[in-house]
Amino acid sequence: MKITTYIDEDLLKKTMRATQAKTKREVIERGLRNILQETKHRDFVRRFGNLHVSWTHDDLMRSRE
């Protein structure tokens, strides 16, 4: 889909450098995917609650044996 919109040029340049995105389209699509992922995560947590695990790293490694 082609759209025309105003995006803060400084914000776009900083984001492209930080993410190493090669194109404006890439950085915008990454941003949209991140928003979607965060929304799905927030909805999942809201629906099912938080999962608290008391295992330590050593416990996890032992469980893999």
Residue burial 51-61, b: 16+ Cβ < 10 Å; e: rest: eeeeeeeeeee
3-class DSSP state of 46: helix
> Please, which pLDDT band fits residue 48 given cuts at 50, 70 and 90?
confident
Residue given tokens 């950085």 in the structure block:
27
User: Which pLDDT tens digit goes with each residue over 14-36?
Assistant: 999 999 999 999 999 999 999 99
User: What token pair was written down for 18?
Assistant: 């930080």
- Mean pLDDT (the chain) is 92
| Average pLDDT for 29-56 | 90
* pLDDT over 80 at 51, yes or no: no
Domain segments of the chain as ranges = 9-63
Tokens linked to 20 = 């190493």
- Tell me the two tokens of residue 65: 């044996």
Whole-structure pTM value: 0.67
| pLDDT (mean) for 42-52 | 86
